[in-house]
Structure 1
Amino acid sequence: MGYRSFIIPIFIFICSFFVFSANIGGLSIYSLDEAKNSECAREMLERGDLIVPTFNYQLRTDKPPMHYYFMMLSYKLFGVNEFSARFFSSFFGALTVLITFLFGRRYLGEKVAFLSFIVLVSSLHLSVQFHMAVPDPYLIFFINAALFSFYVGFTEKKKVFLYLFYVLMGLGVLTKGPVAVVLPSVIILLYLFITKNLSLKNILFLRPFSGLLLFLIVSLPWYVAVYLKTDGKWVYEFIFKHNIHRFSQPMEGHGGIFLLTFLFIFVGMLPFSVFIIQAVKRVWKDRNDFLLFLMIFVGVYTIFFSISKTKLPNYTVPVYPSLGIMLGYYLSKIGLSGFKSIISSVVFYIFISLSAVIGLYFGIKNEPPISDLSYLSFWFLILVFGGIFSLFFFLKRNYTMGILSLSVFSIFMGFVFFYKAFPPVDKRNPVMQMLPLIEKNSTVVYYRNFNPAFVFYLRRYIKPVEKNQIGKILSKNEKVYILTRKRYLKDFGKFENAYVLKVVKDLFEKKISALVSNRRQ
């Protein structure tokens, strides 16, 4: 048992990392969030500055520094590139699956824990999330590790886990701010209240004073330092703009009805979320203290972000590990469920997968830069086949093969997506299309607006120019490039030496990037 308990977690970690790191170095840093986070870390490393985050050498107040630190370490180890920017995202993704397995095994046994692992590595959305150079992979780990530590420390009366809880929560605050302390606190208080453990004796056992001191030692120094170095500007904008305002008002068009959050979770946890109703019923029926804790974790997070005015799919990803254990618990007892409900769920999954193929086909077809790549949508038929194989085995009441069919085909689809289906699309983004046209060491500026990924790849300050400066810039003797948007090209019309080298629509966005120069290529 000792050898088995050691080797299986290693297998879990290696497999998870293998899935979450598929082709992380082969895809461009293009999305706005990835570009800004990756470049911010690069600039901090370049300056040797551990305090003030900047993008394009201007103060960036979006996120605290924890993920920047890991990116900086990765840049030191592997150089500044796509692989380095994403390496620790994949690493923390694998750690998240590992601690979920260990946590589930501790209270529900190895079978449930292993099924939870299968559920998590089969989620395409989770894999995408752990592929990205953003703070979310780190936050997902710290929040889950913190709450898992609390549960172990409280229920087993182990103080070391309670102190670990405060340390991890402090690291979470250094990753994404107040959300890492507010929601875990609500979850814990609600858990204590529902289980009738909300007493002064239990509160004191949680070591709130020494714990708070430990939490502040971990999280406060950087906030004080950045406050002093930016005259309070970073702290003010981060708290009011990126937290309070983001919760009270839709930001960047990311709004929607409260049901959207539930949809995000359902789609994000496919393929096994088709059993989510059965899983909730089974967990509620068999509930014990541990399963109740998982339900509270999932419920608080889901409800909180359903009432938040800004809604994004990544906000609720921290519930995936707990939901994964709940689904794993259901799958371990799937033979006890109604046979018709199992079959209907798998049929529904086949329908969803087929709808996704059709939707992707027409979605790509109607996206001008990649309209000729609509055939790539047929790769997603892999998911349909997975559903069909699963249905075949479930009809024969071979539940093990039915579960494995859903998982294996979904994981295989992930590798196909990152290595075969998405790379051709990625090459069509405006940054990859325009970079070859920009001569090395030439002057590059921007007018009004531009794609932020250019800063990461050019690795220099891209200076803004005003409308009355365009003529002066274009009249320079050396070759000059101006990054802008198509909507602003009218402002270049009166200049005879303004040559539009390239106009490319940003993928799946309304913006259209443009590259202007004072010389023809």
Structure 2
Amino acid sequence: MRLDSDQAGGTENLSTKKHLSIILVLGIYLFFLGNQGIFITDPVESNYALTASEMVQSGNYISPQIYGTYWYDKPIFFYWQLASAFQIFGTNEFAARFWPAVMGILGLLMTYVFTRKLYDAKIGLFAALILGTSFEYWLISKTVITDMSLFVFFNAALVCFYLGYGSEKKQYYYGAYLFAGLATLTKGPIGFLLPGLIIVFFMLWRRNFAELKHMKLLSGSLILVLVGGSWYYIMYTIHGTIFLETFLGIHNFLRATVSEHPKDNVWYFYIVMFFIGFFPWAFIMPMALKKIWTQKKWPELDEKTGFLLIWLFVVFAFYQIVATKYTTYTFPYLLPIAILAARFLAERCKFIMKIVAFNVVFYTVLTFWVAIPYCQQFSAKTAAVIVASAKEPDMIVGSYGDYHTSAVFYGQTQIYRMEKAKNINTMLPKAMSWSSKNVMPFLAEENLADKKNVLMLVDDDSVDRFKKDMAGNWLLIGQANQEFLFRKQ
């Protein structure tokens, strides 16, 4: 079945312009609301924020650094986004959350345009509204991580592929290669390998191998290599094999084969995440499916539906196989799920709009009553302010217990991770080991015995141990949330 870009249901009540206005207003309201008051949290957000701020300070926009040390955890694109926002808006929470919010809006617009071409404008509007008010989409649009940028580029590659496959406009294929390259520059090889796997399964299902000659394989591959591969080549020429061993070896191969969080490596992990991430729509869909089952009116498994199903099931199955389970890994499959949900619920316009209105109120309350207080509680921003006011020239600042990168980000000062001298060597970054993340500066506790000008951040769970382990007279000079600040007398 080929695409008909002029197809429009007779039940359309709103113009495309009005639809786009609704989507923009919804996205701007939900994804930007309260962002200036949502503190940067540990451990994930602060790593990205600190790396981008060091990028701006150093002027090095090629090699990511954190704590003044080269950092090979993620590719460069999201750091570029953060750095650009810091330069425009300053180094603050609004700037850090600016691009996730913008990409979230772009993701909704892409969903609308693509669904409109697949079905009609009404289903396109519903798909965008359903996606934008699902819990995981709202959350990631306000979170300082790579996943929203990956969502847009990853899914844009598949959207462009299908638009090229389903029409006479084969130039869409160039967009597939371009966006796959940007996804690779955002997250790594998965940015082109997984969309490619989805396309392979779809082509095998359709058995339309004649289409291969229209898919711009040579010129498109060149675009993919130039966009997605140039930075990797430059990094290799600068840093050599250590970059490949760390980025590809640890953060890709090791993560895929050895669980970083073994307690999460259970078969039902992503099933649970589906119901959380697609809330509340995940609990509404069974009602629609029950109605279809009782009436025996199943939608035709046409080419469009098949592509969407392959899209979502390949993503789910792939990450089900991967050893490390992360809550956001399957996030890209929310786009085809939202389109299918909109198609199932297309005749229940009032019901959808009521749920959307409820969600807008719900996320407004969640922003001010949960997100802002929670992030204030679990960020070291307030502690960093106390450190900055108490710190003197040549003063050593240490962190005992949990290390909070957000204190470094907000305080813009070096903070040492305190450990026993005998333990430090075992914790330093090593090849093919999760210790590769320990790039913060270490300092042996024993080295402070003869030091007098010292500040120490101690988390509340480690205060008693700190008083037993650390020699000297320590005076409590401040407390912020779960952090205590001691000064050596």
TM-score (norm 1): 0.79
| C-alpha displacement of 1:13 | 2.6
Where does 1:17-28 land on structure 2 (aligned, <5 Å)? 17-28=28-39
1:119 is matched with 130
What letter matches 1:467 in structure 2?
Answer: E
Out of 455-464 and 260-269, give the one that drifted further: 455-464
Relative to structure 1, the CA distance from residue 307 to residue 26 in structure 2 (aligned partners, 3 Å threshold; closer, same or farther) is: same
Aligned: 1:466 with 2:466: no
Give yes or no for the alignment of 1:457 onto 2:410: yes
| Structure in which a larger fraction of residues adopt helix | 1
The separation in 2 between residues aligned to 1:206 and 1:72, in whole angstroms, is: 35
Q: What displacement does 1:241 show?
A: 1.2
In the alignment, residue 403 of structure 2 is paired with which amino acid? Answer: F
Deviation at 1:502, TM superposition (A): 5.8
**Distance (whole Å) between structure 2 residues aligned to residue 504 and residue 74 of structure 1:** 28
Q: What's 2:399 paired with?
A: 446
1:34-45 to 2 correspondences below 5 Å: 34-45=45-56
Distance in 1 (alpha carbons) for counterparts of 2:230 and 2:52: 19
Q: Could you tell which deviates more after superposition, 76-85 or 48-57?
A: 48-57
- Alpha-carbon distance in structure 2 between the residues aligned to 1:434 and 1:454: 7
Deviation per residue, 1:70-127 (Å, 9 max, x gap): 1111111100101001101000000001100100011110111111122112212210
Distance 2:288 2:245 in 1: 43
Maintained 8 Å contact 2:40/2:375: no
**Contact 1:9-1:102 within 8 A present in 2 as well:** no
TM-fit CA distance, 1:408: 1.3
- Letter paired with 2:227: V
- Residue 205 of structure 2 corresponds to 194
The 8 Å contact of residues 254 and 310 in structure 1, kept in 2 or not, is answered as: no
1:25-76 CA-to-partner distances (Å, cap 9, x unmatched) read 1110013111000110110111111111122222222110111101111111
Name the amino acid aligned to 1:305. Y
* Local SS of the residue matching 2:91: coil
The residue aligned with 2:474 is 498
Query: Of 112, 116, 128, which aligns to 2:139?
Result: 128
Indicate how the Cα distance of structure 1 residues 128 and 4 shifts in structure 2: closer, same or farther if over 3 A, else same.
same
Q: What is aligned with 1:143?
A: 154
Q: Secondary structure at the match of 1:258?
A: coil
User: 480-489 or 188-197, which moves further after superposition?
Assistant: 480-489
Mapped pair 1:155 → 2:166:
yes
Instruction: Name the SS for the 2:37 alignment partner.
Output: coil
Q: Distance in 2 between matches of 1:247 and 1:414?
A: 34
Aligned to 2:375: 426
**Is 413-422 or 494-503 further displaced after alignment?**
494-503
- Letter of the 1:455 counterpart: V
Is structure 2 residue 46 aligned with structure 1 residue 46? no
Deviations along 1:358-381, one digit per CA (max 9) or x if unpaired, are xxxxxxxxxxxxxxxxxxxxxxxx
2:48–2:79: 8 Å Cα contact kept in structure 1?
Answer: yes
Distance in structure 2 (CA, Å) of the matches to 1:299 and 1:492? 53
Quote the Cα distance in structure 1 between the aligned partners of 2:52 and 2:148.
Answer: 16
1:322 counterpart (322, 336, 348): 336
Select 1:263's aligned residue among 272, 278, 297.
272
Contact 1:121–1:411 (CA under 8 A) maintained in structure 2: no
Please give the alpha-carbon distance, in whole angstroms, between the structure 2 residues aligned to 1:164 and 1:422: 36
Letter of the 1:402 counterpart: F
Alpha-carbon distance in 1 for matches of 2:281, 2:465: 51
Choose the corresponding residue for 1:404, options 346, 353, 357: 353
Contact 1:255/1:309 (<8 A) preserved = no
**Does residue 232 in structure 1 map to residue 237 in structure 2?**
no
The amino acid across from 2:371 in the alignment is F
- Which aligned pairs between 1:335-354 and structure 2 lie closer than 5 A? none
Deviations 1:378-400 (A, max 9, x none): xxxxxxxxxxxxxxxxxxxxx43
Tell me the amino acid that sits aligned with residue 326 of structure 1: L
Aligned length: 442
- 1:482 matched residue in structure 2: 456
2:308 aligned residue (273, 294, 312): 294
Matches within 5 A, 1:47-196: 47-196=58-207
Instruction: List runs of 5+ in structure 2 lacking aligned partners.
Output: 1-5, 9-13, 417-441
**Partner-residue secondary structure (3-state), 2:403:** coil
Deviates more, 1:2-11 or 1:126-135: 2-11
What is the CA–CA distance in structure 2 between the aligned matches of 1:411 and 1:67, rounded to whole Å? 28
* Percent of pairs with identical residues: 23
Q: 2:22 aligns with which of 4, 7, 11?
A: 11
Q: Deviations over 1:277-304 (max 9, x none)?
A: 4667969632221111111100000111
Quote the Cα distance in structure 2 between the aligned partners of 1:271 and 1:325.
Answer: 15
Instruction: Specify the alignment match of 1:274 in structure 2.
Output: 283
CA deviation digits over 1:234-272, x for unaligned, max 9? Answer: 222111211111122221456232221122112211111
Q: Quote the Cα distance in structure 2 between the aligned partners of 1:99 and 1:167.
A: 15
User: What SS does the corresponding residue of 2:455 show, helix, strand or coil?
Assistant: strand
Give the CA deviation at 1:447. Answer: 4.9
Query: Secondary structure of 2:28's partner?
Result: helix
Partners in 2 of 1:268 and 1:123 — Cα distance? 7
Q: How large is the Cα RMSD of the aligned pairs?
A: 2.5
CA distance in 2, matches of 1:240, 1:35: 24
Gaps of 5+ in 1: 334-398, 507-512
Given that 2:401 and 2:462 are in contact with CA atoms closer than 8 Å, whether structure 1 keeps it comes out as no
**Contact 1:279–1:326 (8 Å) recurs in 2:** no
Alignment partner of 1:250 is 2:270: no
- Greater relative contact order structure (CA < 8 Å, 6+ sep): 2
Structure 2 equivalent of residue 212 of structure 1? 221
Q: Is the 8 A contact 1:265 1:313 kept in 2?
A: no
Q: Show the counterpart of 1:414.
A: 363
- The answer on whether the counterparts of 2:16 and 2:121 sit within 8 Å (CA) in structure 1 is no
In structure 1, what is the Cα distance between the partners aligned to 2:180 and 2:50?
Answer: 26
The answer as to whether partners of 2:103 and 2:152 remain within 8 angstroms in 1 is: yes
Q: Aligned ranges for residues 293-312 of structure 1 at < 5 Å?
A: 293-312=307-326
Aligned to 1:381: none
**Paired residue secondary structure (1:142):** helix
Change in Cα spacing, 1:299 to 1:277, as seen in structure 2 (3 Å) is farther
Q: Matched residue of 1:287: which SS?
A: coil
SS of the equivalent of 1:251 reads coil
Range with bigger deviation, 138-147 or 247-256:
247-256
1:363 matched residue in structure 2:
none
Paired with 2:464 and 2:242, the residues of 1 have a C-alpha distance of 34
- Give me the whole-angstrom Cα distance separating, in 1, the residues matched to 2:316 and 2:49: 29
8 Å CA contact retained: 1:29, 1:453: yes
Between 1:145-154 and 1:203-212, the stretch displaced more is 203-212
